[in-house]
Amino acid sequence: MRLNTIKPRAGSKRTRLRVGRGASAGQGKTCGRGVKGQRARKGGYHKVGFEGGQMPLQRRLPKIGFRSAMQASRAELTLDDLMRVAGTDVTLKGLIEANLVPESTKVVKIILSGAVTKAFVVKDKVITATKGAKSAVLSAGGSFSE
């Protein structure tokens, strides 16, 4: 392969449509804009979602859902994930380095899903646990810093 022989794949590039070049060109006279109206005019502008004065769809439908901004700074950790931590000391920095929680995480909650066999020492106050997960860690000989 040589740089001077490289071409786009056949059929991947379409030629630009030249409008207003006669009826035989397929886009003559009105140039595909229809007849009259704001969209047919030069500089005819519509807001995105504008429906000619009719109440737009995004305003007719009810508002649903909520996305919390705090969600980015919170993370859940299962007991199975906790078993993948090297060593017995559990810190937020260590969880981020082990790729168990995202870097933007500020608060971690350990949830009961799986089993713990090592005695983990949870050292950060930002790492909390559900009642079941806490009892599982404590019964395995681990501890939480309060």
pLDDT by 10s per residue, the chain, length 146: 899 999 999 999 999 999 999 998 889 999 989 999 888 888 877 788 888 889 999 999 999 999 888 999 999 999 999 998 888 899 999 999 999 999 999 999 999 998 999 999 998 899 999 999 999 999 999 999 86
Instruction: Give the pair of three-digit tokens for residue 5.
Output: 């022989």
**CA 79 and chain centroid, separation:** 25
Cβ–Cβ under 8 Å, residues 80 and 120: no
3-state secondary structure of 94: helix
- Tell me, what's the pLDDT at 116? 92
Name residue 29's beta-bridge partners: none
- Tell me, what's the pLDDT at 59? 94
**What is the model's pTM?**
0.56
DSSP H/E element including 75: strand 74-78
What's the CATH architecture for 70-144? Answer: Ribosomal Protein L15; Chain: K; domain 2 (3.100)
Domain with CATH 3.100.10.10 in the chain: 70-144
117: nearest Cα among 95, 134, 142: 142
51: nearest Cα among 39, 34, 62, 68: 39
Instruction: Give residue 111's identity as a one-letter amino acid code.
Output: I
